[in-house]
Chain A
Amino acid sequence: MPRKLAILAAAIAIIAAAVFWFITTPATIAASALPAHTPDLTNGKTMFYAGGCAACHTVPNQEDKTRLGGGLALKSPFGTFYAPNISPHPSDGIGNWNEANFVSAMWKGTSPAGSHYYPVFPYPSYQRMKLDDIRDLFAYLKTLPAVAGKVRDHDLPLPFKLRRLVGMWKLLFLDGRPFAPEPSRSAQWNRGAYLVNGPSHCAECHSPRNRLGGIVERQRFAGGPDPEGGDGGVPNITPAGIGSYSERDVERVLESGDLPDGDSVGGAMTAVVANTSKLPAEDRAAIADYVKSLPAVEGPKKP
């Protein structure tokens, strides 16, 4: 009898492992699934600045924001992440990637080697991006200087070191849905909604996260503690936080970093503004239109 039980237990364990392996398999997009496309480099550049790629991927402490050699350390409750080299360098960067590799990374959070990226790379937002925007961005990245130097591995303790577990995380927090426009709203509002929730990934910092590191959806945009562990916080960008701002005030923050009270933005937002300041003015206006339309939501109580 105990022998039969042992066999049963072993069988269950094997099945469970197989199921785990199956459901945590990284998803990819096949090259054959991509229709013909002629890249629009101007749009690619807009996506580059809307996405704020440079904010994390430029080599730290240098003026040239187009050298995407990576290396910036990002602290988190799960360990320290190091932004990789996404310059077109063939071996150290993404020079050898094809379009399908890039689309898989942006939409599915999967690397060309077929492993999971950690969601510190904000693909839960990038999955909303239009295919053409991603392909234009890829074409634009290819025009930037190749930077040599591989970035060190992330510094994560167990169990977070196990990338396969990210597959479970994705089941919980990656829905695979593209951006859905709101037909009753204006074209400007929809453009803003797309930028904010897609490429610009505002919610990734401006929302509280649960213990698994997923965004608390009902408090989306309501700010929260500093994800890097500092004793400051991230501001609430719903009317509960910036209700006194006009749309013009929001535009100005994104344009010059100037706040309505004469102060200027600081912390990580400084690097964000370095990107949004280079967007077309209409896009900043669209973001402001959308942000000012958000419902007021109270953020987590400060300790």
Chain B
Amino acid sequence: MIRPVLAVVVLALGATALLAQSDPIATRRALMKGNGDQNKIATEMIEGKRPFSLDDAKKIFATFEEAGEKAPALFPDNSKTGGDTAALPTVWESKADFDARLAKFAKDSKAAADATKDADSFKAVMAEIRKNCGGCHQTYRKKAS
């Protein structure tokens, strides 16, 4: 029983890795979209449009953490253009800073998951985590219109 499950897991992992390799732009967009979707859920919980759930909160931070960990590898030199991307050339001009910010985002997200106990602590922690978003979007993403 364990073998087929393992096989599926290995296959899924392989497929993700392959996709990341073949289409880093689509992969990183999907990661950021995932962050946005989770962030929206966070807003709904904070503003009382959705009841607070510790499991949902943990999932939000897990998504953020995963994105922070995976993203640095999704900006290879050959992915500056060639797809639907809003990444600015500054990403590659200061890749070390860019990667460091993503690593900090992942680390902060992990700490946030541990620090969240209830609705109040979740709200406080989210306010801090969100500062990471603007930090990168200010310098590394094309202006929206």
Count, A-B residue pairs, CB within 8 A: 72
Compute how far the CA of A273 lies from the CA of B35 in the bound complex, rounded to whole angstroms: 20
CB atoms of B143 and A226 under 8 A apart: yes
CB atoms of A256 and B37 under 8 A apart: no
Closest residue on chain A to residue B141 by CB atoms: A266
Compute how far the CA of A256 lies from the CA of B123 in the bound complex, rounded to whole angstroms: 12
Q: Please tell me which one of the listed residues A233, A261, A264, A265 contacts residue B145 in the complex, with CB atoms under 8 A apart.
A: A233
Set of chain B residues within 8 Å of A302, measured between Cβ atoms: 145
| B116 interface residue (CB < 8 Å to A) | no
| B117 interface residue (CB < 8 Å to A) | no
Compute how far the CA of A265 lies from the CA of B134 in the bound complex, rounded to whole angstroms: 7
CB atoms of A258 and B39 under 8 A apart: yes
Q: Which of B43, B86, B141, B144 has the most CB of A within 10 A?
A: B144
CB atoms of A235 and B39 under 8 A apart: no
Compute how far the CA of A235 lies from the CA of B144 in the bound complex, rounded to whole angstroms: 7
CB atoms of A232 and B144 under 8 A apart: yes
Q: For residues 89 through 145 of chain B, which have their beta carbon under 8 Å from a beta carbon of chain A?
A: 127, 130, 133-135, 137-138, 141-145
- 14 A–B pairs (Cβ distance < 8 Å), ordered by A: A223-B145, A231-B142, A232-B144, A233-B144, A256-B127, A257-B133, A258-B39, A262-B43, A264-B130, A264-B133, A267-B141, A267-B144, A268-B143, A302-B145
The 5 closest A-B pairs by CB, nearest first: A233-B145, A232-B143, A266-B137, A262-B36, A262-B40
Compute how far the CA of A234 lies from the CA of B36 in the bound complex, rounded to whole angstroms: 21
Q: For residues 25 through 79 of chain B, which have their beta carbon under 8 Å from a beta carbon of chain A?
A: 35-40, 43, 47
Compute how far the CA of A271 lies from the CA of B133 in the bound complex, rounded to whole angstroms: 12
CB atoms of B38 and A262 under 8 A apart: yes
B67 to chain A, nearest CB (A): 13
Set of chain B residues within 8 Å of A234, measured between Cβ atoms: 143, 145
Set of chain A residues within 8 Å of B141, measured between Cβ atoms: 266-267
Set of chain A residues within 8 Å of B88, measured between Cβ atoms: 230
Q: For residues 246 through 262 of chain A, which have their beta carbon under 8 Å from a beta carbon of chain B?
A: 248, 252, 256-258, 260-262
Compute how far the CA of A209 lies from the CA of B36 in the bound complex, rounded to whole angstroms: 32
Compute how far the CA of A267 lies from the CA of B145 in the bound complex, rounded to whole angstroms: 11
CB atoms of A233 and B143 under 8 A apart: yes
| A64 interface residue (CB < 8 Å to B) | no
| A263 interface residue (CB < 8 Å to B) | yes
B-facing mask of A261-300, CB < 8 A → 1, else 0? Answer: 1111111101101100000000000000000000000000
Set of chain A residues within 8 Å of B86, measured between Cβ atoms: 232
Q: Please tell me which one of the listed residues B37, B134, B137, B144 contacts residue A262 in the complex, with CB atoms under 8 A apart.
A: B37
